[in-house]
Structure 1
Amino acid sequence: MMGIFDKFKKKKEVKRPNLIVFEKGNVDNDYANFELKIKPRISIDEDFPQEAYQLLAGRRKEMLGQIEEIIFRNYLDETSEDLSSEVGCFPDIRYFTGNYYVVYESYGFTYRDKNYRPYHIKNGQYRNVSYKGNERQESYLPLDSDEITKYYNIFIQVGLTGMESGQEEDYMSLDLVTEIASLEDEFEFEVLSHGVM
């Protein structure tokens, strides 16, 4: 039997990510923000096939579903051991509204060798740039090299809103990236960085 006070106890509401979709067009393809309330900026590399972009655009719900799990796990789940509990730290879970929107999307290619080192095309060759200490090192492979695998590279930046000043506004940006060898592969987004907006 329910105690007399049990019905007055309010269970704390868990914040889940909620996608805000802005309807206003982005005529100049600017970076979106909460104040502008425009559709995301989209960048597609010139050698990226339109059919590939259309197919990936058709999987956008799947991409955003995975991104929402990352947002929840890393920034909204109060039981997460990854969150800092120090006052004055950034990001502070108390300020998040749970709302997010897409700021920027980029579609291109990454080329990787058998050791998963990244290459890009420069002067008709694959080029890798790395550093050993302060020393810059470059290595090249021919475009017909069987050492290289071509990956579809998808970068998505989202903005998370917060109530730091008492009204909803931009609070944090979150950069995520995934690479897939084929257009049917599963997405595995990784967090590149987060920062103040």
Structure 2
Amino acid sequence: MPRITTLRSTSIALAVTASLSCGLLSVGTAAAAPAPPGPSASVEQQASPGQGPMTPVPGQKTSRTAAAAAPTITRSDVIERAKSWVGIGLEYSWTGSHAGYRTDCSGYVSMAWHLSSSLTTDTFAGAGVIESISKGDLKAGDALLNDNSGANGHVALFEKWANSSQTSYWGYEFTGSGVHHREIPYPYFSGYGTFKPVRNKSVIDDVVVPTD
């Protein structure tokens, strides 16, 4: 009997110790739990998983350079065109298309800019479409471009600054997880190469009519 009592006491002591340890572990784990992830948490939601080749848009006039065939477009029209692809369930594809434009990052920006072809990140400049600008010159309808080719390149449309310190902006982009309108750190999420601000030469400022 004394031996059984000792074993029971030992078992109870171990159970209490284990219970206390789990309780401390749970408290410790809860205290160390990370904050909810921000927009940069998922790699698959960022940048370009690849791009298709330059693709003419059916029914639109084409020429030796895309710039020559591109009509002028207002900044507000660029943003409205970009909005039209948000939330409609388009899947990223090098070979797919929607409304005549390739369904990848550069095809999406080509659509928003109303170009005659779906260009690629490494052909916007060569086609005479863009010019480099400074950070301080960014306006709605401009873009942040990594002009490398294929999956090493990416482009996002600039809408407006997200804060007065200009450390992040609201932008539109097509990534492997779909078309997004979201806050993006300037110039882009880290680890995806060098991004520079650019402007479509055919974009014009909207005319503001005085209200008084």
TM-score, length of structure 2 as denominator length: 0.20
Structure number with the higher strand fraction is 1
Higher helix share: 2
Which structure exhibits the higher relative contact order, with contacts defined as CA atoms closer than 8 Å and separated by 6 or more residues?
Answer: 2
Q: TM-score if structure 1 supplies the norm length? A: 0.21
